[in-house]
């Protein structure tokens, strides 16, 4: 049965399997091995040299596949967690609260990325105006002036997203509704009555909030269990933490976000374990793209965005130096670049709205899963507590 098809409440499945687990140790170990292999295989399929890879690396279509992989991993993880393992014993009693805290931090990043996609959609509309204007023949001064105005605004929007999020223009909002209110005083705080289910109230974050620092906080202390602790349910809990960190790091690297500057160009993941092989390969490839694409003031590594910036800068230089009727060779080259920009805009217009909706789905899935895990943790603690009788 596919991981998304299991039915009944998460807590109910844990209670049922807790009564069965004594006779299913070997099956549980096999399930854990399958989970780790699936993690590796799914991320390996995203590598640009993978036989199953049919989308340009870090393109909008590729990012959508990345989020599909995350949703599949999350569903399988919950299925593994529901197999009745005791989550109150070390090291799970430490690893699970860390995972919950990373999930909470990832909600801010989801919101920041959704906002960044709004910026990209605005930039795409400006680029479309420029592409359409420079495709006109004969090319007049009026066409070039219109294109130059749109290109200046396009490059300013992308630069402003990197440097000063609050000054990118009227399409931006000065206040944002960010993720969920903090629970208690630390990552392992218990829920108050009713707080673990439903949608907690949003909280505001000032303009000094940093996506790079948020990812850094999520990746801190991402240490794999060792020795006797490197078996059983502790492993998938740690694996899921690594998956959350990797996916959020990749989204921030690819898409304009508030304060991307300072984002680490790599993640420290164990190379020697099976589950990490796909992700470590992707970290290396993203690092290579970083060296090739990223520059001071760059808005992100997304393939279409990189091309849009590059072509936009070239066309802006053409428009700035244009004098009617213009050199025929330069006008024709600008026409070819305008056609390329138009094609990039079409791909972005087709892909950005579904990508944005998918991130919203990830956001709400994280909320539900975190609530389920908190409820299961509270339930397990009550079951394990010694009776007062």
375, 10 Cβ separation under 8 angstroms:
yes
On the question of pLDDT at 209 being above 80, the answer is yes
Question: How far apart are alpha carbons 203 and 314 in whole angstroms?
Answer: 41
Domain ranges across the chain: 22-46+55-172+207-384
Q: What is the mean pLDDT of the chain?
A: 81
Position 220 scores a pLDDT of 93
**Residue with the larger pLDDT of the pair 299 and 167:** 299
Q: Which pLDDT tens digit goes with each residue over 308-362?
A: 999 999 999 999 999 888 899 999 999 999 999 999 999 999 999 999 999 999 9
Mean pLDDT for the stretch of residues 284-303:
84
Position 385 scores a pLDDT of 63
Q: How confident is the model at residue 294 (pLDDT cuts 50, 70, 90)?
A: confident
Q: How many CA atoms lie within 13 A of 109 on its CB side?
A: 29
Mean pLDDT for the stretch of residues 256-264:
88
Position 296 scores a pLDDT of 53
Residue 342 structure tokens: 């138009």
Position 189 scores a pLDDT of 37
Position 24 scores a pLDDT of 41
Residue 262 burial (C-beta neighbours within 10 Å; 0-12, 13-18, 19+): exposed
On the question of pLDDT at 160 being above 90, the answer is no
On the question of pLDDT at 190 being above 70, the answer is no
119, 168 Cβ separation under 8 angstroms:
yes
pTM of this prediction? 0.83
Q: Which pLDDT tens digit goes with each residue over 66-113?
A: 999 999 999 999 999 887 677 888 888 889 999 999 999 999 999 999
158, 146 Cβ separation under 8 angstroms:
no
Rg (CA), the chain: 24
On the question of pLDDT at 173 being above 60, the answer is no
- Which single residue is written with the structure tokens 């907690």? 200
Alpha helix positions (H), the chain: 10-18, 25-44, 60-81, 92-134, 141-163, 211-219, 234-254, 277-293, 303-320, 328-384
Q: Hey, which residues does 180 pair with through a beta bridge?
A: 202
The answer to whether the peptide bond before residue 138 is cis (omega within 30 degrees of 0) is yes
Q: Which pLDDT tens digit goes with each residue over 99-150?
A: 999 999 999 999 999 999 999 999 999 999 999 999 999 999 999 999 999 9
Position 376 scores a pLDDT of 83
Residue 131 has a CB neighbour count (10 Å cut-off) of 26
Q: What is the DSSP letter of 180?
A: B
């Amino acid at each position: 049965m596919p991981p998304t098809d299991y039915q009944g409440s998460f807590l109910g499945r844990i209670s049922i399997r807790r009564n069965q687990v004594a006779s299913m140790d070997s099956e549980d170990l096999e399930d854990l091995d399958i989970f780790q292999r699936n993690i590796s295989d799914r991320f390996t399929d995203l590598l640009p040299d993978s036989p199953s890879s049919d989308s340009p690396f870090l393109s909008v279509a590729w990012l959508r596949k990345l989020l599909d992989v995350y949703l599949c991993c999350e569903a399988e993880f919950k299925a593994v967690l529901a197999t009745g393992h005791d989550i109150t014993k070390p090291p799970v009693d430490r690893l699970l609260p860390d995972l919950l805290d990373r999930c909470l931090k990832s909600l801010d990043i989801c919101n920041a990325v959704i906002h960044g996609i709004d910026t990209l959609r605005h930039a795409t509309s400006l680029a479309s105006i420029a592409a359409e204007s420079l495709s006109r023949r004969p090319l007049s001064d009026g066409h070039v002036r219109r294109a130059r105005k749109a290109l200046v605004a396009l490059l300013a929007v992308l630069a402003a997203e990197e440097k000063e999020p609050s000054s990118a223009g009227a399409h931006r909002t000065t206040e944002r509704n960010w993720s969920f209110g903090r629970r208690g005083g630390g990552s392992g705080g218990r829920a108050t009555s009713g707080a673990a289910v439903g949608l907690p109230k949003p909280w505001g974050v000032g303009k000094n909030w940093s996506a790079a620092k948020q990812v850094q906080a999520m990746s801190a202390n991402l240490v794999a269990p060792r020795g006797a602790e490197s078996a059983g349910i502790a492993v998938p809990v740690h694996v899921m933490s690594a998956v959350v960190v990797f996916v959020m790091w990749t989204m921030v690297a690819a898409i304009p976000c508030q304060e991307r500057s300072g984002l680490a160009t790599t993640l420290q993941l164990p190379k020697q374990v099976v589950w990490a092989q796909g992700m470590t390969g992707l970290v290396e490839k993203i690092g290579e793209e970083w060296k090739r694409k990223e520059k001071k003031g760059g808005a992100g590594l997304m393939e279409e965005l990189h091309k849009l910036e590059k072509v936009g800068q070239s066309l802006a230089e053409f428009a700035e130096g244009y004098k009617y009727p213009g050199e025929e060779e330069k006008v024709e080259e600008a026409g070819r670049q305008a056609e390329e920009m138009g094609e990039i805009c079409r791909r972005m217009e087709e892909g950005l709205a579904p990508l944005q909706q998918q991130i919203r789905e990830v956001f709400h899935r994280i909320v539900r899963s975190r609530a389920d895990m908190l409820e299961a943790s509270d339930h397990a603690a009550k079951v394990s507590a010694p009776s007062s009788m």
